[in-house]
A = this chain, B = another copy of it.
Amino acid sequence: MQEIRLTPTSYIVLGLLEFAGESSPYALKQLVAGSVGYFWTLQHAQLYTEPERLASAGYVSETREETGRRRRLYTITDRGRAALEEWRNEPTGDLAELREPAVLKLFFGADPKRLAIAQVAANRARLAEYQAIRDSMPAEMPPGPRQALEIGIRVERAAIDFWEELAD
């Protein structure tokens, strides 16, 4: 049994396995794309390596299909559930950094107008996506995803305001 460090990627995998039950890496890929993916994407390769890593430390268990492609299938274990629960219950004061490429350029003297035009377009497109997702969310969905979406929308709006003003 290995000791591993749990990263955000780990919790995404654990969270999805808890929600969806036994899943293959490819199924996880689909799940990410349709959920957390709107604010936290993962490379598909990570959805093969990360469950493997989690399995090596007992947070998930692995079986293989007997027939056909013999896909690997992962299930969250009690240990995994406990780790997820602990993480979830620990409120964090951590803050992500902005790390916006366009802001870096702005900082180092890029032409604000040209930048702003591209950024307004990109942010508007993303805002539209978010709103589309929100409007198509089934009502019986748990509240977390909707709330996460909501802060995304707020931040997008703030960004659009900023870049629009900058363009003048």
A112 CB to nearest chain B CB (Å): 7
Q: Is the CB of B108 within 8 A of A92?
A: no
Copies in the complex: 2
Q: Is the CB of A148 within 8 A of B106?
A: yes
Contact for A101 among B8, B84, B144, B166, CB less than 8 A: B8
Q: Which of A8-65 contact B (CB under 8 A)?
A: 8, 11-12, 15, 18, 35-36, 39-41
A29 CB to nearest chain B CB (Å): 17
Interface readout for A89-114 with B: 1 if CB under 8 Å, 0 if not? 10111111111111111111111101
Residue of B nearest to A105 (CB): B88
Q: Is the CB of A84 within 8 A of B108?
A: yes
List, sorted by A's number, 29 A–B pairs whose CB atoms are closer than 8 Å: A11-B104, A11-B108, A39-B100, A40-B99, A40-B104, A84-B108, A88-B105, A88-B110, A91-B115, A91-B117, A93-B119, A95-B100, A95-B123, A95-B126, A96-B99, A96-B100, A98-B152, A103-B148, A104-B148, A106-B151, A109-B142, A112-B143, A151-B159, A154-B158, A154-B159, A154-B161, A155-B155, A155-B158, A155-B159
Task: Give me 5 other A-B pairs in contact (C-beta within 8 A), A39-B107, A92-B118, A106-B148 excluded.
Answer: A39-B100, A93-B121, A96-B101, A154-B159, A154-B162
Chain A residues within 8 Å of B, Cβ to Cβ: 8, 11-12, 15, 18, 35-36, 39-41, 84, 87-89, 91-112, 114-115, 117-119, 121-123, 126, 142-145, 147-148, 150-152, 154-155, 157-159, 161-163, 166
